[in-house]
Homo-oligomer: A and B are copies of this chain.
């Protein structure tokens, strides 16, 4: 699929990553250096595979969250660099394993690692990066950070297995869907935002506020991603429009359109998602039905609600450049819809 005009055009928010990028610039340079160093190995295939994905330039939102939330509480040490790098490695490991799980051929607009080096390398290099992530956490000496990030590792995998269990099943409920994205996506945002205050020695209340912020932000982020799968531009998206549809992923837009559809439409969705009748014509019809039932717009509304929850979680903190930067990230994540 080439470029496709976005289905959702309402611009309800704006926002920018610039404040958080500016705030964390010098720390991120150190994180990027540590990423390259810790993805190194005498076994040549490891840096080859790891750097293919690392150099393809995700936005590195998650490590920026760790750096920004540590700075918010005045942290002055070195360990936030290691924790931010651990968070990014956990994310990279998940992407490598996801590509095997989804049988994806594109990731961030490039051939996925599994297409070049095979499933084996993707699985094993992901395992290596996860091991390196835990090594760096140990180096910080923070058992609390280890606790949060090991919880996250288990919960992320649980969310991914849940996604697999409900895959190609039209009886998936909105609650199932939220449980999936809470695990597979939001848990790492929450952990990334929680280990910042932990390493800075913030209060339990502040830890919880930042965790809540990360969780709501992560849910909003994934909701928007799932909307973009039906209306984004594949160059921006870094994957093909309609990938979720072809993989039989039951995301919120589909759940809403199915609930609101007549019997014929329900049959169409079952054939497409459960029966694999998902060619380009079916994708066009799916997009028509999503628009007919305002399923994409209503999914964006859900994302906006979670965005408000993320903003509310920060409301007890003193106003500062750091808090402002975190608020702008919320708007940015949702404004990707344009």
Contact = CB atoms under 8 A, between A and B. Distances in A.
Nearest to A145: B138
Contact of A134 (B121, B124, B153): B153
A44 B176 CA distance: 13
Interface stretch (A160-168, A195-203, A312-320): A160-168
Interface in A142-167: 143, 146-147, 150-158, 160-162, 164-165
Identical chains in the assembly: 2
B138 A154 contact: no
A285 interface: no
Given A135-B154, A150-B134, A125 B43 contact: no
A80 interface: no
Interface in A96-152: 97, 100-101, 119-121, 123-125, 127-128, 130-132, 134-135, 137-138, 141, 143, 146-147, 150-152
A315 to B, nearest CB: 31
Interface string A48-91: 00000000000000000000000000000000000000000000
The majority secondary structure among interface residues of chain A is helix
A157 B165 CA distance: 27
Contact of A158 (B119, B123, B128, B156): B128
A150 B137 contact: yes
B161 A128 contact: yes
A132 B154 contact: yes
Indicate the size class of the contact surface on chain A: 35 or more
A147 B147 CA distance: 14
B101 A164 contact: no
A140 to B, nearest CB: 10
Interface in A209-250: none
Given A124-B97, A160-B124, A165-B44, A153 B130 contact: yes
B119 A131 contact: no
A41 B158 contact: yes
A46 interface: yes
Given A128-B157, A164-B45, A123 B97 contact: yes
A100 B100 CA distance: 10
A44 B287 CA distance: 32
Given A125-B161, A134-B146, 20 more contacts: A41-B158, A43-B158, A45-B161, A46-B158, A97-B124, A100-B119, A101-B120, A120-B164, A121-B161, A124-B160, A127-B160, A130-B157, A131-B151, A132-B154, A134-B134, A135-B151, A135-B154, A138-B143, A138-B146, A138-B150
